[in-house]
Chains A and B, each alone.
Chain A
Amino acid sequence: MSTMKNTINKISSINKSIFSFGSNADSYSTGAYIYNQGSVNTPFFHSAKIKQIHNSISDEGIKRSHLNKKFIKYYTDFKEQFEKHIESFSEIEFEFAQEEMTKSLNFLLTFDPDKMSLELTFDCCIYYTFLKGNYTVYISHFLDLEEYDYEEITFAVFNNDDKLPSFAGDFESFKIAFSNLMVYKPELEFHY
């Protein structure tokens, strides 16, 4: 139970944005976690709820919008690469590749990497290089499992020059392993 509580607290702190009208005041205001925040994007605190006009799209919506822009950029790049390397992907339907790519890309983007690249390799693999703080993670998402008898996803992690244990497994196990890698690293901060 305490592990769950610690994790929830960590998740809350990870998702707290550094810059938005609301949470910017959270950083320093006395009693920020005691008083109810106003119901809209305002740093005004009062024990009663403040009735104000709701903005078009919330701050969270704006953050989501910025992530969506990044997603679209990677998606467009993926499509171009797929068309360029169509011979290597002759056994793979584009819609299937797109669906798989969306799965892994969506997941990785929510960790707000400092830098990330996406490449398609000749062995029907989506290859990500993910940089966050001192961590560099090389992720291979294999599309043609029958041909190569691979695990669905593998990743290798470096903390600066130190190699950490790698991972190989299915997508669900990958999500757990990658989340644990990212969530339990206190020196990493997440900014949208």
Chain B
Amino acid sequence: MKLPSKISPDRIKDSIIEVRYSSKLPFDILLGIFFESLDDDYTYANRPNLHSTPFVLESNVKLSISGSALFFNKKIKIEFLPNIMVFNCLESYLGWEEYFDEVKKVLVQINNTKRIESYLRIGLRYISEYPNMDIHDITKFSFSFGMPKIQSENFIFRSEFFENNFIIVLNLANNLNLIGSDNIVSKISNIDIDVIRDVNISDLDELLQIISNAHSEEKKVFFDILNERFLNELKPIY
């Protein structure tokens, strides 16, 4: 099947690339080295974890204050956690070429510190959101369970399978109730495709190739799932 290079709207909410690595240095020291290695294009901020700072009780007991290191430029953000780097587009999806270029730039600078012993896992997870849309109208997915009169109000489907040496985790969510900050309930459906490979490599070019291949697999799964009618509505460019 020929895969489009662009669709509009893409409805991509998150375009996550996660790289896990090992290093001989403790994370606190490594972070300083990474900070020095990244060029001035990136701004640094320390961000607390969700279950932390706010809940300071009257008795002055503080509940876990810890943070993660956040770097960002105008296009992407990178979060550094112990042994993990997580990339994501800053605002709307940049398109693969531009996004991958930004990711490559950071990985080259990090790799040049020569503090990464090996890369252990690559994950590429794209989550697309479809407000007030039914997954049956979007995809070829359907299921039955011996009760033909029943129509599910909402459902979540998860599948893990292997394809071309990748583990692919596919999550489909249909018509889940989303309570917005204004307390209005709306429906939302999701297509969540996570493409993962465990590795043990130290070569950066090999890492970049695997990330690129992971993206190709994600694209294949995504466009294989979409039904043709819906795909045509997205003005695909080949």
Is A71's CB under 8 angstroms from B54's CB?
A: no
Contact A189 B169, CB 8 Å, known A55-B194, A65-B14, A75-B43: no
Instruction: Evaluate contact between A179 and B55: CB separation under 8 angstroms.
Output: yes
Chain B interface, number of residues (Cβ within 8 angstroms): 54
* Seed contacts A55-B194, A64-B79; 4 additional CB < 8 Å A-B pairs: A21-B158, A53-B196, A175-B56, A192-B50
Q: Is there contact, CB below 8 Å, between A21 and B173?
A: yes
B116 near A: Cβ within 8 Å?
A: no
Provide the bound-state CA to CA distance between A157 and B90, in Å. Answer: 33
Contact (Cβ within 8 A) A21 B156: yes
B110: interface (CB < 8 Å) = no
B-facing residues in A71-106 (Cβ within 8 Å) = 71-72, 75, 102, 106
How far does the alpha carbon of A191 sit from the alpha carbon of B181 in the complex, in Å? 6
Interface string of B165-198 (1 = CB under 8 A from A): 0010101010011111111000010000010100
The reply to whether the CB of A182 lies closer than 8 angstroms to some CB of chain B is yes
Complex Cα–Cα for A98 and B214 (A): 38
* Surface stretch bound by A, among B1-9, B28-36, B57-65, B99-107: B57-65
SS of A interface (majority): helix
Does B55 contact A67, Cβ atoms closer than 8 Å?
Answer: no
Collect the chain B residues with CB atoms within 8 Å of residue A107's CB. Answer: 48, 53-54
9-residue interface stretch from B120-128, B133-141, B199-207, B223-231: B120-128
- The answer to whether A19 touches B53, judged by C-beta atoms less than 8 angstroms apart, is no
Nearest CB on B from A117, distance (A): 15
Q: Which residues of B contact A15 (CB under 8 A)?
A: 50-51
State whether B72 touches A114 (Cβ < 8 A).
no
> Would you call A154 an interface residue if the criterion is a C-beta within 8 Å of the partner chain's C-beta atoms?
no
- Which of B54, B60, B77 sits near A110, CB closer than 8 Å? B54
Whether the Cβ atoms of B127 and A62 lie closer than 8 Å is yes
Which of A41, A71, A172 is within 8 Å of B70, CB to CB? A71
Contact at B88–A56, with CB atoms within 8 Å? no
Known: A19-B188, A57-B16, A191-B179. A43 touches B45 (CB 8 A): no
In the bound complex, residues from chain A placing their C-beta under 8 Å from that of B61 are: 4
In the complex, whether A168 has a CB less than 8 A from a CB of chain B is no
Residues in A neighbouring B17, C-beta threshold 8 A = 56
- Give the docked Cα–Cα distance between A95 and B14 (Å): 31
A57-B91 in contact given A11-B63, A21-B156, A71-B70 (Cβ < 8 Å): no
Q: Is the CB of B169 within 8 A of A191?
A: no
How far is it, in angstroms, between the C-alpha of A180 and the C-alpha of B180 when the chains are bound? 24
